[in-house]
Amino acid sequence: MTDADDETLMGEVATGNRAAFDILSRRHLKRSLTLAQRVVGNAHDAEEVVQDAFLQIWTRADRWHDNGARFTTWLYRIVVNRAIDYRRRRSFDPLEEAGEMPDGGIDAETAVSDRQIAAAVDDAIGSLPDRQRAALSLCYYEELSCAEASEVMQVSVSAMESLLVRARRVVRSRLQPLIRQKDGGKS
Amino acid sequence: MTLKEFSVTEFGRLAEMHGGDIGRWPDPVRGPALVLLARSDAARAILDEAKAVDALLDRASVPAVSDERAERVLARLSDRLDNMAPPVPYSLMATRGTLRLWPTAGFLVAMGVAGFLVCASGLLPAPAAASDFTSVLGGTSYAGTTYLGRL
């Protein structure tokens, strides 16, 4: 059974087959954790999100219909939705348009260490509205196509593209001092 | 998309969306993008900026998911599953919904009978009988206009 594809295993899970569920959850746990952590922002909450997501898959396995949809689309949808819910419960959710302003937190004149750069990038991504951060996580880090990511987030492809463009603009704007520094102050 | 349609503006939009690696752009636009890139300084500048953003995105912390951490999460998930009732097949859930109909229907019938008995025993004051049909429907609006009943 370990060689079975996701959709076959999901069919077994729908009949209450715990062994199939164990294979499926083990197969997708690491990537789900990575995705959840990118959206929710910390390891502990990501673990809660992923556990809840897999529990939902177990309890609602009967709702799964193998009509051409990929299991991972369903899984990532649950993970992303749960991660966004989790984050909203924990903190104030910035408005979709609120991130366009540049942040003056990084001084272009100051040489920054790798660690500081990573922290600045994390901050820039963390400042994104939830849906923009989810879009960036799915398309840039998880390398899903816009069409696949739009299915996960249940939006149109054009809405997905818009989320991506806005996310990258915000990140670019907030990290502009670092980009200028890298270019030697050309721009 | 033909080369003629592929403007620097469109190139910029795609770079903002998909980043500085044309290999990650959708198949149909890769060829025209490379052609434009070869002949346009503006396109090259746009792509350089997108690559700079990509380079920074690549510097973000990567969530560390060690084998130990994964096993720990799986163990907790397994514990939670062990403490749960097995999933109820959807078909059975539908049946349960039907079975729950009878207590609800019984309750509604009992309430109807109780209401009838209360009215029949005269416990509730009955409204005064209307003199005619139009007086029931007629009245005065908020603006003071009378209607229907006085017609």
For chain A, domain boundaries: 1-91, 94-187
φ, ψ for residue B96 (rounded to 5)?
-60, -40
pLDDT digits (tens, 9 = 90+) for A17-34: 999 999 999 999 999 999
Residue B56 has a pLDDT of 94
Residue B55 contacts A, CB cutoff 8 Å: yes
Domain regions of chain B by residue span? 1-85
Question: Out of B24, B63, B76, whose CB is closest to A43?
Answer: B63
Q: Note the pLDDT of residue A177.
A: 84
Instruction: Count contacts between A and B (CB, < 8 Å).
Output: 113
CB-based contacts of A96, cutoff 8 Å, min separation 6? A129, A131, A132, A166
- The question of ipTM being above 0.85 is answered as no
Query: How far away is chain A from the Cα of B117, in angstroms, using its nearest Cα?
Result: 46
Arithmetic mean of pLDDT, A3-28: 92
CA distance A92 to chain B (A): 23
Residues B71-90 have pLDDT tens digits of: 999 999 999 998 876 655 55
pLDDT at position B95 is 52
* CATH number listed for the domain at residues A1-91: 1.10.1740.10
More reliable by pLDDT, B18 or A184: B18
CB A40 within 8 A of CB A49: yes
Contact across the interface for A62 and B87, Cβ inside 8 Å: yes
Element (H, E) at A51: helix A43-59
Handedness of CA A162, A166, A169, A175 (dihedral sign): negative
Q: How many CB atoms lie within 10 A of CB B70?
A: 18
Q: Are residues A33 and B61, on separate chains, in Cβ contact within 8 Å?
A: no
Measured in Å, how far apart are chain A's first and last C-alpha atoms? 57
pLDDT of A89-140, one tens digit each? 876 545 444 444 444 455 555 556 788 889 999 999 999 999 999 999 999 9
Q: How many CB atoms lie within 10 A of CB B91?
A: 9
CATH classification number, A94-187, choose in 1.10.150.240, 1.20.950.20, 1.10.10.10, 3.40.50.620: 1.10.10.10
